[in-house]
Amino acid sequence: MRFLSKQGASVSVLALLCSTAAAHAELPLAGIIAQGRPVIDLRARYETVTDNSKTLDANANTIRARLGYDTGYWNNFQLGFDFDQIWTVGGATYNSTRNGKTAYPTIADPSMTVLNRLTLILAPVALGCVLLYSFTKRWTQFSHLVLGACLSIAPTGAWIAVRGEIGSPVPLLLSLVVLLWTAGFDVLYACQDYDFDRSEGLKSIPARFGVARALWIARGLHAAAFLALVWLFVITRLGPVAFAGVIATGALLVYQHRLVRAGDLSRLNAAFFTTNAFVSVILLATFGSAVFLNRQ
């Protein structure tokens, strides 16, 4: 199951997207369903495995059908679901681990139907977090952490969507990095709203503790995010390319905080938008490349 909105920032378990797009006219349930569309995706696949310890090569021809339905939009959101069905075409000239054909190398049973139940169960949790965040500034100064938690759903959510389980500390550590990093830069960004938040009775860390202390809190959050990133690097053992990403990220976080002072927020946009964009791209490029290189 997935929840979609018209803009594309991924923050959920399968695909929970939220945006600030212009509001759609509210539609009754029948209209939402009527404006939806079916999702049909077909692909053919051929797999072959050669194993010197086996007398025969394994070959599997499969067809995958992804079928689903996306509703129309309501209040910027769209509800959808899909499932995969995979059929074997031709004879089973492979060892599925269950068909007894041990003379062939293993291609672990390509015939299956997939609808990840854990992803389905957790999808409403992701949606609830995103909806809750919009109201948190009315009752807690720690809304920055709630925003971080919303975005941190993405790494673990993607992991669960692919694997069907967590089964490793890696996605949880990556989610922790995202949570702390997001909370830190949101505290920075909220410093420019200090006067407005106090006049309107909204809650935030700058409004509660003042801009100077808020900057130190943001630094603490980013220091913790960096330590979590180091921990992630240590347990994944992804090598020098990922290590370069860790060092570059740490340098950018330090640079980000050198741009902003309690008495001078004029360079806040550079600290918030430009630096964070570089952090995202660097982590994707270095850790992504490291994962690819380690598979070779």
2: pLDDT strictly greater than 80:
no
127: pLDDT strictly greater than 70:
yes
Pairing mode, strands 2-5 and 9-10: unpaired
pLDDT tens digit sequence for 54-83: 889 988 888 878 777 887 876 666 667 677
Predicted local distance difference test score (pLDDT) of residue 146: 92
Highest mean pLDDT: which range of 36-40, 90-94, 183-187:
183-187
Amino acid at 116: N
Predicted local distance difference test score (pLDDT) of residue 114: 52
Interval 138-154 mean pLDDT: 91
pLDDT tens digit sequence for 182-191: 999 999 999 9
Number of C-beta neighbours around residue 38 at 10 A: 9
Interval 154-171 mean pLDDT: 85
Q: Comparing 30 with 166, which gets the higher pLDDT?
A: 166
Using left for φ > 0, alpha for ψ between -120 and 50, and beta otherwise, residue 152 falls in alpha
Predicted local distance difference test score (pLDDT) of residue 100: 80
Amino acid at 212: A
pTM, full prediction: 0.62
Q: What is the largest CA-CA distance in the chain?
A: 78
The domain limits of the chain are 2-119, 135-294
The mean pLDDT value of the chain amounts to 81
Interval 114-120 mean pLDDT: 60
Structure tokens at 11: 């923050």
Q: Comparing 128 with 215, which gets the higher pLDDT?
A: 215
Reported confidence tier of residue 23, pLDDT bands at 50, 70, 90: very low
* Helix residue ranges per DSSP H, the chain: 29-34, 117-133, 143-163, 169-190, 194-200, 205-209, 211-236, 240-258, 268-269, 275-294
CATH assignment of 135-294?
1.20.120.1780
Reported confidence tier of residue 120, pLDDT bands at 50, 70, 90: low
Measured at the CA of 94, the angle between CA 92 and CA 97, to 5 degrees, comes to: 105
pLDDT tens digit sequence for 197-232: 999 999 999 999 999 999 999 999 999 999 999 999
Predicted local distance difference test score (pLDDT) of residue 149: 92
When mean pLDDT is compared across 68-72, 150-154, 258-262, the lowest value belongs to 68-72
